[in-house]
Amino acid sequence: MTPFHKRPLGYSKLLVPEVCLGTMTFGEQTDEADAHRQLDFALAAGINFIDTAEMYAVPPRAETCGASETIVGRWLARQQREQIILATKVAGPARSLTWIRNGPPAMDRTNIRTAIEGSLRRLQTDYIDLYQLHWPERNQPMFGQWQYEPDKERECTGIREQLEALVELVREGKVRYVGVSNEHPWGIMQFVRLADELGLPRIVSTQNAYHLLNRTFETGLAEVCHREQVGLLAYSPLAFGHLTGKYLADPGAPGRLTQWPNFGQRYTKPNVAPATQAYADLARQNGLTPTQLALGFVRSRWFVASTIIGASSLAQLQETLPATQTPLSAEILGEIDAIHLRYTNPAP
């Protein structure tokens, strides 16, 4: 592998590698020994950006809640802390995760403070480089929903109150920078506007799904994030394994979607299979694997600060990490756009 480039994360002073190691398999599909081997392999390759969350492993359940952070923490204790860029997330309400802070009932000061104390303890560190709100508390379409439904409005903690809770953590030195995840343009603009008006911490990133089957980021968020200096941390670049092509040949192939059939609702929509087939055909016509095409595409986008990749094993990571460096010609990128216009965002 060639050295990984580093890119600025939003307006922050953080320079992050163009690939980030995601850890949501740690503690479920991936045991601790293999997880530590993955972390060692990534770090040796120059990937010092690690992303986790208090609710991980996934799919979320009470028995594995916090397991990923705990596994990362035991590895982190053996590292030079200042050499690692560590990101984690606080879970919000409305996802039926009743085992996390009894709900959690809100993204308010009490819950955010309780959440970060737990994360710091599990991660065996006294600060987080990037602390992210895992999903908006307010009503909005996410995780496979594709329409905003105003009749589902509910009481929620205001964005100002969330920022006021986060600024305390920044001032106390427990958090360096703050970010969001699974956000939409209105939310990004509200976070930025209130931060600027009230002197509160500005978000530096949003972690959103972005891949060949879901390019919705390009429609409104790309402009907003560019103008407001908010970096994209692109997750699911392989669309839960769909873009490897393995489910085309064998719908029952081993993977998260066959082990937990209800986990990938985004990928049950009618155009997922034909779009995936078209991308797989394009890859093979150009001497590439579908994985190389998918990962090379995400890395090529001008608005992606870092691509989050995860693996269930070291062997899988050894395959996917080099694939992120696949160069794509202008001709291939043009063919990708042609397929995208035929099958536009089949898995939003």
Tokens of 254: 């081993």
Residue with tokens 């035991």: 74
CA Rg value for the chain: 19
Nearest-angstrom CA–CA distance, 106 and 139: 13
Question: Read out DSSP for 207-250?
Answer: EEE-BTTB-GGGTTHHHHHHHHT-EEEEE-TTTTTGGGTHHHH-
Report CA-CA distances (Å) from 92 to 55, 95, 108, 113. Answer: 10, 8, 9, 13
Q: Are strands 231-235 and 203-209 parallel, antiparallel or unpaired?
A: parallel
Question: Read out DSSP for 11-57?
Answer: TSS-EEESEEEE-TTBTTTB-HHHHHHHHHHHHHTT--EEE--TT-S
E strands, 272-336, where?
304-309
Please confirm, yes or no, whether 56 is among the known catalytic residues. yes
Cβ-contact 122, 71 below 8 angstroms: no
Estimate to the nearest angstrom the gap between the alpha carbon of 273 and the chain centroid.
23
Amino acid at site 12: S
Q: Of residues 11, 56, 210, 267, which has the active-site annotation?
A: 56
Tokens of 47: 């990937």
Nearest-angstrom CA–CA distance, 110 and 347: 35
Selection from 307, 285, 168, 305 nearest residue 238 by Cα = 307
Q: Annotated active-site positions, please? A: 56
